[in-house]
Amino acid sequence: MTTVLIKQATIQDQNSSFHNQTVDIKIENGIITEIAKNIAIPEGATVVEKENLHVSPGWFDTSVSLGEPGYEDRETIAHGLQVAAKSGFTAIALQPNTTPVIDNQAQVKFVLERAKEQATSLFPIGALTKNSEGHDLAELFDMKNAGAIAFGDYNKAIQDANIQKIALQYVQDFDGLVISYCQDNSLKGKGIVNEGITSTRLGLKGIPTLAEELHIARNLFLLEYTGGKVHFPTISTQKSIALLKEAKAKGLQVTCSVAVHHLVLNEEVLTGFDSRYKIAPPLRDEATRKALIAAVLDNTIDCITSDHNPLDIEHKKLEFDMAKDGTIGLESAFGALLTVLPLEVVLEKLTAGKKIFGLPKQAIEINTTAELTFFTPTGESTFTKENILSKSKNSAFLGQKVKGKAYGIYNNGKLVI
């Protein structure tokens, strides 16, 4: 029998009767068997003691790209899940942007097989369309049966309104969730950054916020027509917030996320033409960044994602307009968020995705399965290359101030600290 004893941890869990109490937690074979002020150390137990140790229900990241299969040089599933564990995440939703694309049950089974025996649980998102090309629906029902928790084409918007409509109708038969990345490609054109004063000053082609907003409006109209439920990932404009607030008031089954980088950074960082800041959707102006924070605080935005997207140096260290979009974000997510949001909001938004994606969320109580994240909310530092655990190093957070730090997790009967 494996026993883990967590010493003097402050429990941060609004749903627990031990909320805000500093206690010892005893875990035996993956189950919390005792929570008390002071528990004697059992023989052979692994003891966890850390400075200013806090514990919360395990964090879930709703958008993570890992590369395998096809782009193992960027990241593998096994190593990526270890990075997630050390960054405080007990579960991730895996994007289907691999080669081949995760668009059938064999691919879903493959990634689940590769994720076995890891502390961090992996939940695959199946592609909505074949090869994520936007023309024909993928094998959604088969993928759901194989273990896919939702369906979407990563960072590719469905341009054909009829495909979007059919997808929303089809998945209702098995209570499926459609993920709708929103961007009108004709309005985006050759744009690479947010359209505005900064893009004009830098001489970079701009993407109007309208490209996102028009698509959100269209997809909300379709949702109202078809029923079903939609999740809008990484929304990034003020009008998008207003549209989603209105849709929720109407009672539509709609949820949305925002990426950490849109809450922490604005387009001012682009002045050095550093391609680490080339992200989709693009970084917006300071007023929008503040509006996104306000939308997190008033719960218009349901959850926060790192939108972790590892890219190799050949695709990232290029002229700004040639580089691929994306930043890694698992390692910096918690520390960066604490610089702009209160702790209780950060914890709530890093666990809220479980409900959206239909995953169980355990309160920290005696006789429950242990799915825990360990962290400290105090201490300030600068995020440097030494803090990057991923195989790829394309972080938009290098040089940024961070607060607190994740110590690790306990999940699936495994301790990573």
Angle at 326 between CA 325 and CA 330, to 5 degrees: 175
Domain with CATH 3.20.20.140 in the chain: 58-356
Q: Is 149 exposed, middle or buried (0-12, 13-18, 19+ CB in 10 A)?
A: buried
The CATH number corresponding to 58-356 among 3.20.20.140, 3.60.21.10, 3.40.50.720, 3.40.50.2020 equals 3.20.20.140
CATH 2.30.40.10 assigned to domain 3-54+367-391+400-416? The reply is: yes
Instruction: Check if the beta carbon of residue 80 is closer than 8 Å to that of residue 116.
Output: no
DSSP state of 395: B
Q: What angle do CA 34, 38, 44 make, to 5 degrees?
A: 70
Closest CA to 65 of 94, 85, 45, 87: 94
Token digits of residue 283: 């970084």
Phi and psi at residue 236, to the nearest 5°: -145, 10
Question: Which alpha helices (DSSP H) does 340-391 contain, by range?
Answer: 343-351, 353-356
Report pLDDT for 318: 85
Residue 59's pLDDT is: 98
The single-letter DSSP state of residue 386 is G
Q: Which residues are catalytic?
A: 307
User: For the packed helices 210-226 and 161-170, what is the interaxial angle rounded to 10 degrees?
Assistant: 40
In a structure prediction context, what are the per-residue pLDDT tens digits for the chain, which is 417 residues long?
A: 799 999 999 999 999 999 999 999 999 999 999 999 999 999 999 999 999 999 999 999 999 999 999 999 999 999 999 999 999 999 999 999 999 999 999 999 999 999 999 999 999 999 999 999 999 999 999 999 999 999 999 999 999 999 999 999 999 999 999 999 999 999 999 999 999 999 999 999 999 999 999 999 999 999 999 999 999 999 999 999 999 999 999 999 999 999 999 999 999 999 999 999 999 999 999 999 999 999 999 999 999 999 999 999 988 888 888 999 999 999 999 999 999 999 999 999 999 999 999 999 889 999 999 999 999 999 999 999 999 999 999 999 999 999 999 999 999 999 999
Taking CA atoms, 150 is separated from 18, 102, 367, 371, in Å, by 33, 12, 30, 22
Number of H helices, E strands in the chain: 14, 18
Q: So what's the pLDDT on residue 362?
A: 87
76 near 68, Cβ under 8 Å? yes
238-94-297 Cα angle (round to 5)? 30
Helix (H, G, I), strand (E, B) or coil at 7: strand
Is 258 in a helix, a strand, or coil? strand
Q: In angstroms, how far is CA 304 from the centroid of its own chain?
A: 6
Q: Tell me where in the chain the CATH 2.30.40.10 domain(s) lie.
A: 3-54+367-391+400-416
Whether 354 and 57 have beta carbons less than 8 Å apart is answered as no
Residue closest to 147 by CA, chosen among 173, 108, 175: 108
Strands 372-382 and 54-57: antiparallel
Residue length of the chain:
417
Lookup result for tokens 């941060």: 12
In three-state secondary structure terms, 206 is: strand
